[in-house]
């Protein structure tokens, strides 16, 4: 009896790991949430049961607690449970909390890392998060906490790092993020790229500057890349803007 916390990657099924595919094929139960692509779920065996625990924005605060309890119950009842999580389970996926709850209940748990949108989304837009002579590091943060009230992230320090800033869950708070970074000293003309639905057929990329981010529409799911590399276009620009539909097509 094991619950496997499996990274499903950013969407494109070809970015699953071989281990993720094997575990899906062997699973008795697949527990999944909102961002997992249907083509990934289709890889499970015909006998597998599916449990949708998708949280929608604005869901009650205790919904993660209920998910933990369901995982424990499923882990006690079935031999192989795959808990699929978008991207990597331990990158803003609450996989750590689920692993702790399962271990506390005496249920075996393992983790299968996945390709995180934090690096996949910039890459698909032709943006290397590090680039020799331009950016020697990158920091991944969430905008989910309201940056105008949340003290846990030091936005002033982030503004001064001089490396690439990758913001997840920023769809509704991009403007507040920009305001805090500019207040912290980041120039308003810092390049920004918003990569939406990365690796999926409807992928699109919006290039802008930090000062214009508050008036730039940011759909969900998006990764916001802030820093000099956001102006880079190391892939064919037409293909990078149009995404995987054309990138995978024969010439």
Q: Tell me the closest approach of the beta carbon of residue 38 to ligand SAM, in angstroms.
A: 14
107 forms part of the interface with ligand SAM (CB under 6 A): no
- The residue among 192, 194, 244 whose CA lies nearest residue 219 is 194
Task: Say which of 12, 85, 169, 186 is annotated catalytic.
Answer: 169
From residue 113 to residue 142, what is the string marking binding to ligand SAM with x (rule CB under 6 A)? Answer: ---xxx--x---------------------
d(CA 208, CA 210): 7
Ordered DSSP codes for 70-132: HHHHHHHH-SEEEEEESB-TTSSS-HHHHHHHHHHTT-EEEEE----HHHHHHHHTT--SSBT
206 forms part of the interface with ligand SAM (CB under 6 A): no
Nearer to ligand SAM, 45 or 172 (CB): 172
Choosing from 15, 75, 92, 240, the residue that interacts with ligand SAM (CB under 6 A) is 92
223 forms part of the interface with ligand SAM (CB under 6 A): yes
Query: Are the CB atoms for 145 and 173 separated by under 8 Å?
Result: no
How many C-beta neighbours within 10 Å does residue 8 have? 30
From residue 34 to residue 73, what is the string marking binding to ligand SAM with x (rule CB under 6 A)? Answer: -x--------------------------------------
Q: Tell me the closest approach of the beta carbon of residue 34 to ligand SAM, in angstroms.
A: 9
Query: Are the CB atoms for 221 and 197 separated by under 8 Å?
Result: yes
In the block, tokens 């998708």 appear at 54
For ligand SAM, the binding residues (CB under 6 A) are 10-11, 35, 85-88, 91-93, 116-118, 121, 168-169, 195-200, 220-223
């Amino acid at each position: 009896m094991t619950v496997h916390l499996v990274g499903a990657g950013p969407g494109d099924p070809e970015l699953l790991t071989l281990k993720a595919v094997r575990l899906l094929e062997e699973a008795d139960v697949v527990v999944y949430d909102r961002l997992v692509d249907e083509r990934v779920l289709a890889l499970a065996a015909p006998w597998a049961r599916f449990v949708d625990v998708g949280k929608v924005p604005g869901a009650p605060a205790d919904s993660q607690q209920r998910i933990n309890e369901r995982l424990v119950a499923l882990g006690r009842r079935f031999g192989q449970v795959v808990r699929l999580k978008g991207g990597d389970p331990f990158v803003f996926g609450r996989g750590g909390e689920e692993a702790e709850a399962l271990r506390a209940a005496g249920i075996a748990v393992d983790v299968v890392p996945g390709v995180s949108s934090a690096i996949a989304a910039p890459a698909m837009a032709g943006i290397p998060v590090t680039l020799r002579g331009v950016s020697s590091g990158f920091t991944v943060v969430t905008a989910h906490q309201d940056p105008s009230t949340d003290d846990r992230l030091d936005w002033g320090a982030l503004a001064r790092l001089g490396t690439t800033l990758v913001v997840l869950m920023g769809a509704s708070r991009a403007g507040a993020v920009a305001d805090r970074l500019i207040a912290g000293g980041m120039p308003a003309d810092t390049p920004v790229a918003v990569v939406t639905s990365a690796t999926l057929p409807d992928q699109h990329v919006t290039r802008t500057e930090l000062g214009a981010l508050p008036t730039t529409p940011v759909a969900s799911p998006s990764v916001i890349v802030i820093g000099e590399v956001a102006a880079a276009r190391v892939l064919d620009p037409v293909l990078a803007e149009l995404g995987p539909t054309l990138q995978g097509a024969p010439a």
